[in-house]
């Protein structure tokens, strides 16, 4: 799953690199990094922010009932189905679809 998302990011970055900008008669050749670096930064930010938001939630393991918060980098690229996400349980080490804990008692 991580490989697939990295591949799509790479493909997107490559697709955006062939980019010419025209202002009237003036033609600018935009270096690839002018497009690629902001794109990479935006994607990286989205990846980290998304991951941090997910890692704030608690998930319950369907096998042993262990409640845990996933690491943000694991959460960011985890496979998800609606609110449920596939995580490796830190307690029983089984990889399964974990539901978020919905009761927010703080
Ligand atoms: Zn478990």
Q: Is 33 part of a structural domain of the chain?
A: yes
Closest CA to 98 of 68, 76, 56, 72: 68
Of 26 and 46, the one with more pLDDT: 46
**Is the model's pLDDT at 105 over the cut of 80?**
no
When pLDDT is averaged across residues 50-67 and rounded to a whole number, the result is 93
Q: Which domain holds residue 61?
A: 2-100
Beta pairing class for 67-68 and 59-60: antiparallel
Q: How confident is the model at residue 103 (pLDDT cuts 50, 70, 90)?
A: low
For residue 4, what are its two tokens?
Answer: 């697939």
Q: Is 95 part of a structural domain of the chain?
A: yes
Distance (Å) from CA 41 to ligand 1 centroid:
35
Of 72 and 1, the one with more pLDDT: 72
Residues with CB under 5 A from ligand 1 (ion): 61, 63-64, 66, 89, 91-92
Work out how many domains the chain is built from and give that number.
Answer: 1
Distance (Å) from CA 100 to ligand 1 centroid:
14
Q: What was the pLDDT predicted at 65?
A: 95
Q: What is the DSSP string of 4-71?
A: HHHHHHHHHHHHHHS-EEEETTEEEE--HHHHHHHHHHHHHHHHHHHHHHHHTS-EE-TTT--EE---
Place of tokens 């974990």: 98
Distance (Å) from CA 67 to ligand 1 centroid:
8
Q: What was the pLDDT predicted at 91?
A: 96
Q: How confident is the model at residue 75 (pLDDT cuts 50, 70, 90)?
A: confident
Q: What was the pLDDT predicted at 76?
A: 84
DSSP-assigned letter for residue 101: P
Q: Is 13 part of a structural domain of the chain?
A: yes
Q: What was the pLDDT predicted at 17?
A: 60
Q: Is 106 part of a structural domain of the chain?
A: no
Distance (Å) from CA 96 to ligand 1 centroid:
8
When pLDDT is averaged across residues 37-44 and rounded to a whole number, the result is 94
């Amino acid at each position: 799953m991580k490989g697939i998302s990295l591949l799509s990011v790479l493909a997107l970055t490559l697709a955006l690199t062939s980019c010419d900008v025209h202002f009237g008669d003036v033609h600018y050749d935009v270096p690839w990094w002018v497009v690629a670096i902001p794109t990479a930064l935006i994607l990286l930010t989205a990846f980290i922010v998304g991951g941090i938001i997910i890692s704030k939630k608690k998930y319950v393991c369907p096998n042993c009932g262990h409640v845990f918060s996933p690491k943000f980098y694991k959460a960011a690229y985890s496979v998800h189905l609606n609110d449920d996400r596939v995580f490796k349980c830190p307690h029983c080490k089984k990889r399964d679809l974990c539901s978020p804990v919905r009761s927010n008692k703080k």
